[in-house]
């Protein structure tokens, strides 16, 4: 078998549009699959790094996105080897935080000099202090213990991204969009740049409403207030999030966690004007849903405690803020996950 034949067997769907924007989705779960499918439908040349059942599904029928009663099918290139997909204009990384170090070690063949790496992930990223007036632009050891992530993904490539969408999977390679208020993207060092404006336009044309943030750390921190409370509390209790916000004692504890996090952010120059009750109101609108961390516990998957709690404790040390409620929540959630082998 010639090299070209081997390539065609492992990489599905060479892009015939030479001038199309080349986008690679690294992590074709619910969020990555949704973004990839929408971009493919809009004419981008989309490829996917996948393995196992997801890779098999993509090679058989491409991405199948369900929106309401409609199912949109998109042929995409797919491989378990990034080197076979080649240099990209944009790489969207949509994996759980514990998997990011592995992505960073393999992502190199996808990166050219000007490739954007859009991190569509929850929690505090390793580059969070870049662009803040702390005098410290180093990576966070709580989410990048040995520096593997910062070595594999230089900050010059990074575009921060906050996802405000509810997605699930009907099966491998079959994302389902339940609700969306879009994405927020921004430069680690702040401000609007031609590349972030281009990215927002590209996503908007694909039907994903996207705002460019002048200070993406604020958008990350605002979403974190919900994730750092609802996720671990739901995992500890097994409760859906509506039950958490309707319980006066539990809601009161969650509010203390949020207020401590707000103080940490403010000391770092990341000011959030919304109150805990404002954040609870957003959660109430979502109804009786299981948080992603509760779902991870039920499926016995690794949990994202470092990105949503340990990183906040590390930043609290930088800011000189005491966080007794955050410490208690992290300790309980960590012990539970360790006992179950999930951390």
Residues involved in catalysis: 223
Bridge partners, residue 92, by sequence = 25, 118
Structure token pair of residue 193: 């740049």
Report helix, strand or coil for 231: helix
Q: Report which of 44, 34, 28 is spatially closest to residue 165, judged by C-alpha positions.
A: 34
Q: Which residues, other chains included, contact 43 with Cβ-Cβ below 8 Å and sequence gap of 6+? A: 17, 20
159, 92 Cβ separation under 8 angstroms? no
Give the span between the Cα atoms of 323 and 330, in whole angstroms.
11
C-alpha dist (Å) from residue 145 to 14, 29, 273, 338: 38, 25, 32, 18
DSSP state of 167: E
C-alpha span between 20 and 36 (Å, rounded):
14
Which residues lie across from 65 on neighbouring strands? Answer: 72
């Amino acid at each position: 078998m010639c090299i070209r034949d081997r390539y065609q067997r492992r990489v599905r769907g060479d892009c015939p549009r030479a001038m199309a924007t080349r986008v690679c989705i690294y992590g074709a779960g619910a969020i990555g699959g949704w973004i990839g499918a929408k971009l493919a439908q809009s004419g981008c040349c989309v490829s996917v790094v996948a393995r196992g059942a997801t890779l098999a599904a993509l090679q058989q029928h491409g991405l199948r996105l369900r929106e309401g009663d409609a199912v949109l099918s998109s042929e995409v290139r797919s491989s378990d080897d990034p080197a076979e997909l080649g240099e990209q204009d944009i790489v969207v990384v949509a994996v759980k935080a514990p998997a990011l170090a592995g992505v960073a070690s393999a992502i190199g063949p996808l990166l050219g000099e000007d490739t954007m790496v859009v991190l569509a992930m929850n929690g505090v990223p390793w580059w969070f202090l870049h662009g803040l007036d702390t005098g410290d632009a180093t990576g966070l050891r709580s989410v990048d213990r040995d520096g593997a992530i910062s070595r594999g993904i230089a900050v010059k490539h990074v575009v921060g991204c906050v996802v405000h969408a509810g997605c699930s999977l009907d099966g491998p390679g079959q994302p389902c969009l339940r609700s969306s208020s879009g994405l927020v993207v921004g430069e680690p060092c702040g401000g609007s740049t031609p590349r972030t404006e281009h990215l927002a336009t590209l996503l908007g044309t694909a039907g994903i409403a996207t705002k460019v943030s002048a200070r993406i750390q604020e958008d990350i921190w605002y979403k974190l207030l919900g994730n750092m409370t609802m996720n671990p509390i739901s995992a500890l209790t097994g409760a859906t999030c509506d039950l958490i916000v309707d319980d006066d004692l539990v809601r009161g504890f969650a509010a203390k966690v949020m207020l401590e996090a707000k103080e940490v952010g403010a000391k770092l120059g990341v000011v959030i004007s919304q109150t805990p009750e404002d954040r609870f109101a957003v959660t109430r609108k979502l109804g009786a849903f299981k948080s992603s961390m509760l779902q991870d516990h039920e499926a016995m998957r690794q949990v994202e405690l470092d990105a949503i709690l340990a990183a906040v404790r590390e930043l609290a040390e930088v800011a000189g803020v005491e966080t007794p409620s955050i410490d208690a929540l992290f300790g309980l959630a960590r012990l539970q996950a360790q006992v179950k082998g999930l951390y």
